[in-house]
Structure 1
Amino acid sequence: MKRFALVFLIPFSLMLASCGAQQGKAELDYEQSKQMMIDVLKTDEGKKALMEILADDKAKQHLVIESEVVKTTISESLVSKEGQEMWQKLFADPKFLDNFLTAIAKEQEKMLKHLMNDAEFQKKMLELMQNPEMEEQTLKVLTSQKFKEHLEKSIIETIENPIFQTKILKATEKQDEEKSDEENKKQEDGGQGQEQGGGGQ
């Protein structure tokens, strides 16, 4: 029951914030609503509830936020000092991070594809990658033990993936067939050459 209440507390608090801005009669003002949302998300139960929301397909469909007031509330909460501390703690939780990335993966892919075709974005990315500080930071990340462990884990997961194994098997079979065809062709060409040589005698 407690978990159920937490799952609906976040959207409910957002709804209250929206109504308060639009009608001026909400019991909770803007700051109280924002602080309540932050306090809830800092708790283990709050994080768990948010992860369940992000992982639930039906919840994704129903939690479509259209109000500009609510969007502004969330945006300002994210950039505030309390909001930044909250998200740092949330993203430090591996389970939350995994669910969060899974939930936004498709949208992220669409956004990246769109940005990669944008000339201004390409220019900015090139400038960023050529920045000495960025190069140094990237090198540190690539040579860190944590990245090596992550890379090793990703490689193992890829190798053990049935789809990847099937693709490798098909590629190997294709190479074997091509090699066999080449050898057969060489033998046929060699046999024809011997026959022609014998006929000339």
Structure 2
Amino acid sequence: MYKKVICFVFCLIAILNLSSCAAQPKSDNTNYPETKRMVIDMLKTDEGKETIKDILKDNDVKKELVLDHAYVKDTIIQQFETKEGQQYWSTLISNPEFAGKLAKTMESKNEDLLKQLMKDPSYQSMMMDILKDPNMQNEYLDLMKTKKFRSQMQKVVADTLASPLFATQLSGAIEKAVKTQLKAQQAKSQ
């Protein structure tokens, strides 16, 4: 990218030098500060800005553009620290499309972080405090009273009962309970 911008600036300088040579008698006095000022003035015009924008839109230039990771990191951190940056990020994250793409790219990292947190005793304690909170318990109870939740629970129970593995486990548990009960009754009667 820089190569093309620099090439563009040098082309402008060359054109200016050629045009200045054609308009005036030949002179060995090249006025660098004057040429520099003219190039800067040209770049500040609407045409100059549009030319630079066109150069930056070029796919080849975009491929050559390499962002310094430290610079990007510092810029993001600075944006988070300012009120304007915080407002920008909050509006950006409230956009469902952006939030979805951001969440998808961070999904594996978030999962790893959550797994690490689940092993942390202080995090576990905070989670237990949240779950024990009476307001949270009331929310759970209200959720369990909804028709949607009940129909889902019925479906889960029906699926579980239809499972051959569960049926085998259930019958084994019932047989074991009956045998234990019979032994207890026989021990009492003797």
TM superposition score normalised by structure 1: 0.34
Higher CA-based Rg: 2
Considering Cα pairs closer than 8 Å and 6+ residues apart, tell me whether 1 or 2 has the greater RCO.
1
